[in-house]
Amino acid sequence: MRVRRVVTTRAGGRSTGPFARFNLSAGVGDDPAAVAANRRRLADELRVRGVVFLGQVHGAQVAVVDTVPRPGDPDRPGTDAAVTALPGVALAVLAADCVPVLLADPRAGVVGVAHAGRVGAAAGVLPATLTAMAGLGAHVADCEALLGPAVCGACYEVPAAMRDEVEAALPGSAARTRRGTPGLDLRAGLRAQLVGAGVGRIGVDPRCTVEDPDLYSYRRDHRTGRLAAVTWLDSAPA
């Protein structure tokens, strides 16, 4: 089955001020009417049956989606990942520096998404998502992953103790910032975790959210919106 992937930018929406313009998060203080309009536009442009949004609490809880979502459904509470085998049902993960991860087994017809920030990545949200995908029939060797735009290691400065703690939970994530201070490269750690799990194909969107003004960055702007990384199974022939 053909797998589709989309990563949004700030362009094209109705939000204004610090949220301009295509904010897709209902939890950052933006005008709810603008967010609803942006979400409607996303679903329309993707031509999907519905889009699933997650509550995102920096945990490792996975939602198994087995019904078509309706517009206006609440974001799945307490979840930072989702999996589905339903064609045309898009899974969206919201981020502004955290790593959005898109997963798929095109042969089995299963997709997954995960919101992997520092806390969730260390808590094992990615292995939990792969396990949930296997529960729907996915095989890890057939899985593809895309790590979306996120804060890069050169920009992500943290205290040395925090770097060491995250490195212990997610080996490969320790980095050095542009200023020569302790940093984190979560995408490097997540990539190593996916390789270790046996995921066959791994792509990385190299864009840094802090450095790219077209993307939302919490570290840069604090009060801001969230981009979406979205994946779904296309039932049309490839």
The residues binding Zn ion (CB under 5 A) are 152, 155, 208, 210-211
Residue 52 or 121: the one with the smaller Cβ distance to Zn ion is 121
Residue 142 or 211: the one with the smaller Cβ distance to Zn ion is 211
Contact 173, 184 (CB under 8 A): yes
Residue 144 or 157: the one with the smaller Cβ distance to Zn ion is 157
Alpha-carbon distance 63 to 165, whole Å?
27
Residue 82 or 186: the one with the smaller Cβ distance to Zn ion is 186
Residue 39 or 220: the one with the smaller Cβ distance to Zn ion is 220
Sequence letter at residue 151:
V
Q: Least Å distance between CB 150 and Zn ion?
A: 9
The CB-based long-range contact list for 206-210 (8 Å cut-off, 24+ gap) reads 207/149, 208/149, 208/150, 208/151, 208/152, 208/154, 208/155, 209/95, 209/96, 209/97, 209/149, 209/150, 209/151, 210/97, 210/151, 210/152, 210/155, 210/156
Q: Least Å distance between CB 207 and Zn ion?
A: 9
Residue 131 or 177: the one with the smaller Cβ distance to Zn ion is 177
Q: Least Å distance between CB 120 and Zn ion?
A: 20
- Between the two ends of the chain, the Cα-to-Cα distance in Å is 7
What backbone phi and psi angles, to 5 degrees, belong to 112? -150, 155
Q: Least Å distance between CB 211 and Zn ion?
A: 4
Q: Least Å distance between CB 218 and Zn ion?
A: 13
Q: Least Å distance between CB 112 and Zn ion?
A: 26
With vertex at residue 186, the alpha carbon angle to CA 163 and CA 176, rounded to the nearest 5 degrees, is 50
